[in-house]
Amino acid sequence: MSSFSAYSVPSADWVSVSCPVDLAPLILDELRQVVSDISGVSAMSTGNGWAFPSGGLIQLRSRSLSPVAVISASGAALAALRSVGAYAGYLRVLSSDVHRLTRLDVALDLLVDAPSVLEALYSRAKSGGVSLTRKALDPHRHVSRWQSPDSAGLDTGTVYLGGKTSEVRSRVYDKRLERIARGLPDPGSWLRAELTVTSAMGISLKDAWEPAPVFWHFMARALEGIVTRPSDVPAWVPAGDSVGFVLPPRPVLDPMQRLERRLERSSELRDLCELARSIRSGAVLVYRRLRQLGLSSPSTLGFVPGFLAVAANDG
């Protein structure tokens, strides 16, 4: 198997959850404890989420006067959470208050020859042989493709199933071509199948935790002849929270330990300290900013009265 393949089994690649706007800041406070397990994570300048070294984002969005806010996590952010065993904790925070899963993307990687598979899938879909739900896809409105030649000159790219606003939609594309176009090493044959399902279909956070059932429920027909649904995948049940949603036990790690680990791993804090050491009174500027953010240093930290006085005057 290619070392580049990220999703050897169906995996959550985007999770958006809506919640009452007044609860959103409280949820972010809880999520801060979770994301602090990621090395190099940094708060966004807007204060409404976090950016990961991998390029992933967890972000809160809300519209003016709207009673609802949406917290979204990108695929790279979810992968980072899974890599340190923090994904269950992330979902646990989201599920602890009033919420609705508004969008779930699930991805599966297949190490097959993409150009030939995509051509066959497109032809089958255009002839009406592919459906994601019981309602047939309109081949003129709901099936499209983007083409580009690969290294061998063959047409390849992306096949889209379902419209942009469809409650269930999919895109199947040549991941190898995408990586090469970005200047990355050639990973070899690689096809990615992505499914997007919205809240209208009754998805729940159980599907975000165990995405294989919902993926195969909608994608088995589209991927027929390419890969077979595993026999051990259970049937998908809409609104699965009502039939049980069990996460692994919460890890035992107190807030002091989390803060210490976040401080130790923060490249931004390390860089700021280097800058502060390079200029006169740099430490005073740092301490002044900490005071402005509501942190008052106790005398037990060893700050001498003169230093505190200078910092207070500068503030």
Query: For position 40, what pLDDT does the model report?
Result: 86
Least confident residue range of 51-55, 90-94, 202-206, 303-307: 303-307
The pLDDT-based confidence of 293 (bands split at 50, 70, 90) is confident
Round the average pLDDT of the chain to a whole number and report it.
85
Query: For position 226, what pLDDT does the model report?
Result: 93
pLDDT for 195 beyond 90: yes
Looking at per-residue pLDDT, the higher value among 130 and 299 belongs to 130
What is d(CA 170, CA 160) in angstroms, rounded to the nearest whole number? 6
Q: Give the list of residues 6+ apart from residue 96 with CB closer than 8 angstroms, or none.
A: 30
Pair 22, 166 in one domain: yes
pLDDT for 227 beyond 80: yes
3-state class (DSSP) for residue 209: helix
Looking at per-residue pLDDT, the higher value among 169 and 277 belongs to 169
pLDDT tens digits along 82-100: 999 999 999 999 998 889 9
Which of 207, 224, 241 is the last residue in one of the domains? Answer: 241
Count of structural domains within the chain: 2
φ, ψ of residue 154 to 5 degrees: the values are -85, 145
Pair 293, 231 in one domain: no
Q: Does residue 153 belong to any structural domain of this protein?
A: yes
Pair 166, 285 in one domain: no
Query: For position 308, what pLDDT does the model report?
Result: 47
Pair 127, 196 in one domain: yes
Is there a contact between 172 and 224 (Cβ–Cβ < 8 Å)?
no
3-state class (DSSP) for residue 69: strand
The pLDDT-based confidence of 242 (bands split at 50, 70, 90) is very low
pLDDT tens digits along 253-263: 566 776 776 67
Looking at per-residue pLDDT, the higher value among 240 and 289 belongs to 289
pLDDT for 121 beyond 90: yes
Looking at per-residue pLDDT, the higher value among 23 and 3 belongs to 23
pLDDT for 75 beyond 90: yes
Pair 171, 284 in one domain: no
Q: Does residue 69 belong to any structural domain of this protein?
A: yes
Paired tokens of 278: 């390079």
3-state class (DSSP) for residue 55: coil
The residue range of the domain holding 281 is 266-314
Q: Does residue 5 belong to any structural domain of this protein?
A: no
pLDDT for 286 beyond 90: no
Looking at per-residue pLDDT, the higher value among 33 and 108 belongs to 108
Q: What would the mean pLDDT of 284-295 be, rounded to a whole number?
A: 78
Q: Does residue 4 belong to any structural domain of this protein?
A: no
Q: Does residue 281 belong to any structural domain of this protein?
A: yes
The pLDDT-based confidence of 245 (bands split at 50, 70, 90) is low
Q: Are strands 49-51 and 42-43 parallel, antiparallel or unpaired?
A: antiparallel
Looking at per-residue pLDDT, the higher value among 273 and 225 belongs to 225
The pTM (predicted TM-score) of the whole model is: 0.79
Q: Give the list of residues 6+ apart from residue 9 with CB closer than 8 angstroms, or none.
A: 108, 212
Query: For position 299, what pLDDT does the model report?
Result: 52
Pair 129, 189 in one domain: yes
Q: Does residue 22 belong to any structural domain of this protein?
A: yes
Q: Is 161 exposed, middle or buried (0-12, 13-18, 19+ CB in 10 A)?
A: buried
pLDDT for 19 beyond 80: yes
Q: What would the mean pLDDT of 141-167 be, rounded to a whole number?
A: 86
Query: For position 273, what pLDDT does the model report?
Result: 80
- Map tokens 């950016």 to a residue: 51
Pair 307, 187 in one domain: no
Pair 281, 142 in one domain: no
pLDDT for 243 beyond 50: no
Pair 95, 143 in one domain: yes
Over the Cα atoms of the chain, what is R_g?
24
Pair 207, 272 in one domain: no
Pair 141, 92 in one domain: yes
Q: What would the mean pLDDT of 97-125 be, rounded to a whole number?
A: 94
Query: For position 80, what pLDDT does the model report?
Result: 94
Q: Does residue 249 belong to any structural domain of this protein?
A: no
Which residues make beta-bridge pairs with 146?
158
Q: Does residue 171 belong to any structural domain of this protein?
A: yes
Pair 184, 301 in one domain: no
Torsion of CA 178, 184, 186, 187, to 10 degrees: -80
Q: What percent of the chain has pLDDT over 70?
A: 84
Looking at per-residue pLDDT, the higher value among 181 and 102 belongs to 102
